Amino acid sequence: DVKVTQSSRYLVKRTGEKVFLECVQDMDHENMFWYRQDPGLGLRLIYFSYDVKMKEKGDIPEGYSVSREKKERFSLILESASTNQTSMYLCASSLGNLGMYEQYFGPGTRLTVT
């Protein structure tokens, strides 16, 4: 079974803190994704990566950055956390680059910024 793990299920941080969310997949997938999920807004793509050290902006990259130094690991960084970044963050991975492969999701990290 494909497994996508996220470093924390729940996280509470203060405004202005630098926050790291870690995601690891164990199936040698090329692609990895970070989404945020908010009630009524569905899933919105923050960043994605199709190879090591490669990244592309998604629909809402402002206030976030990412790092992919190893194929299995994709990190989301909030440089200076703000209250409007309180959300559920989902990581996903998928195989290949032709779009026909489904995404496998981690359980999510619920981040609260106070």
Partner 1 sequence: AQSVTQPDIHITVSEGASLELRCNYSYGATPYLFWYVQSPGQGLQLLLKYFSGDTLVQGIKGFEAEFKRSQSSFNLRKPSVHWSDAAEYFCAVVLPYNTNAGKSTFGDGTTLTVKP
The residues of the shown chain that bind partner 1, judged by CB under 8 A, are 4, 30-31, 33, 40-43, 45, 48-50, 56, 58, 90, 92, 94, 96-108
| Nearest alpha carbon to residue 97 among 58, 51, 65 | 51
Collapsed DSSP state (helix, strand, coil) of residue 73: strand
Quote the least distance from Cβ 97 to partner 1, whole Å.
Answer: 6
Quote the least distance from Cβ 39 to partner 1, whole Å.
Answer: 9
DSSP state of 85: G
Structure tokens at 98: 């032709």
Give the CA-trace dihedral at 14, 17, 24, 57, to 10 degrees. Answer: 110
Residue 92 CB neighbours (<10 A): 22
Quote the least distance from Cβ 77 to partner 1, whole Å.
Answer: 19
Q: Which one, 81 or 90, has the nearer CB to partner 1? A: 90
| Nearest alpha carbon to residue 113 among 8, 11, 3, 6 | 11
Quote the least distance from Cβ 32 to partner 1, whole Å.
Answer: 8
